[in-house]
Amino acid sequence: NAGVMQNPRHLVRRRGQEARLRCSPMKGHSHVYWYRQLPEEGLKFMVYLQKENIIDESGMPKERFSAEFPKEGPSILRIQQVVRGDSAAYFCASSPEEDGELFFGEGSRLTVL
């Protein structure tokens, strides 16, 4: 049973470009979470999704950021018109139920030049 798969592991973008980060949850997991981690800082919650639904996006900036978890395929975190402050590690986690432990991917590290 493969773990949470994130890709790309590393992504470099220039200011103004778009970044798309993908996350395939563990098999059987229908709850997906995205977190952002800045260097030397803790994990900050961004968004919680279930299949085809955004349950809570209270941690996600209102502009330029969007997330989806379609019926088929991975969850996508999309950042439009990236700025240098978007440089961070973005972690996806999944869980089989609403409560309990989270299973994290290895993260996608975005660098904005």
Partner 1 sequence: SQKIEQNSEALNIQEGKTATLTCNYTNYSPAYLQWYRQDPGRGPVFLLLIRENEKEKRKERLKVTFDTTLKQSLFHITASQPADSATYLCAHPRAAGNKLTFGGGTRVLVKP
| Residue 68 in tokens | 């989806």
The CB-of-66 to partner 1 minimum distance in angstroms stands at: 18
Q: Which is nearer to partner 1, 17 or 37 (CB)?
A: 37
Interface residue with partner 1, options 27, 56, 61, 81 (CB under 8 A): 56
CB 97 within 8 A of CB 33: no
Does 55 contact partner 1 by CB under 8 A?
Answer: yes
**Residues 94, 7, 38, CA angle at the centre, nearest 5°?**
75
Under rule CB under 8 A, residue 75 binds partner 1: no
At residue 59, the 3 state secondary structure works out as coil
Beta bridge partners of 68: 76
Which 86-105 positions form the footprint of partner 1 (CB under 8 A)?
91, 93, 95, 98-105
Instruction: Give yes or no for a contact between 18 and 86, defined as CB atoms under 8 angstroms apart.
Output: no
Contact region with partner 1 (CB under 8 A), list: 19-27, 54-62, 64-72, 74-82:
54-62
